[in-house]
Amino acid sequence: MNEKSSPDGRRVSPEEHRKAWEYALSYYPDAEHSGRPGRGILEDFALLNDYVPDAFHGYMQLRQGAFDVGHEAALDERTKELILVALGLASRKTNPPPLGHTRKALQAGASVAQIAELVALSIMYCGIISFDEGGRHILRAAAEYAADQAGVAGNGSVEVAHPEPVEDGPQ
């Protein structure tokens, strides 16, 4: 056994481990965070914790540091969540798209228009594949979530506006 390890093989104390789970539960409050219906990220973290508890603890420590929005933080929560959506698009993360970060960005004050601009930038930077594989799902989820938050009832569909044709030249 390593000198730094506990009898169960962990290098972190039970108290540190408990705090890591508390943070995970506070950040990921529901099974739908990951965008995978029926299977939430907490279940996946439980597997990671079962096999590599120090990695789970370390990741939660990193998240807490990166997501700090205290008085000395340079970026607010909205900005950090928008950046994570953009990074997910840029890396063509499609399984699933970063729907949890999309929702958290909106909860933190981002607008659907800001999400749409991230999606547009991803097309420019990463190609249309980023829209097809992730951006369109993110934009639709943002519009639906915003409509739900505004109390708009309906079937979850997004109304598509088609622009009027532009006439050539002056009449």
pLDDT tens column, 55-70: 999 999 999 999 888 8
Residues 82 and 34 in one domain: no
Residues 53 and 89 in one domain: no
Name, of 18-22, 28-32, 115-119, the range with top average pLDDT. 115-119
Q: What residues make up the domain containing 91? A: 75-154
Q: Supply the pTM of this predicted model.
A: 0.74
Residues 135 and 117 in one domain: yes
The pLDDT value recorded for residue 1 is 39
Residues 51 and 91 in one domain: no
Residue 5 lies in a domain: no
Residue 165 lies in a domain: no
The count of structural domains within the chain is: 2
State the CATH number of the domain containing residue 134: 1.20.1290.10
Residue 98 lies in a domain: yes
Is the predicted pLDDT of residue 71 greater than 90, yes or no?
no
**Nearest-angstrom CA–CA distance, 125 and 134:** 14
Residue 33 lies in a domain: yes
Residues 80 and 140 in one domain: yes
| Amino acid, res. 69 | V
**Nearest-angstrom CA–CA distance, 7 and 3:** 10
**Nearest-angstrom CA–CA distance, 66 and 55:** 16
